[in-house]
Structure 1
């Protein structure tokens, strides 16, 4: 069995903060990159969310202009 953690595609997936798999679907590199990304998530590393957080408005802000 090969050591997956020394694989370039695995490391690229593991170190990626945003999910981005540049390899062809179905290739060994694609699968290794997927494994790396999955391990990142399972181990609890932070991932960047592209969507900005929406600020919640208070009750007064919602109903002050009525």
Structure 2
């Protein structure tokens, strides 16, 4: 996860964390007070990747 400062555009790497019950908490010491845009990337594990996404037909992965 990264945080981009609205003040000067600097990007701070906040870290990586596994989801637990669909959520993750990351703490960053020394992060200055201000407004940031957060960006995170999610990579599903192999089991959940076999399930259809919302709005996709349930038979998408069959034969």
Q: Same fold (TM over 0.5)?
A: no
TM-score range, shorter chain: under 0.3
**TM-score (ref. length: structure 1):** 0.23
Give the structure with the higher percent strand.
Answer: 2
Question: Highest CA radius of gyration, 1 or 2?
Answer: 1
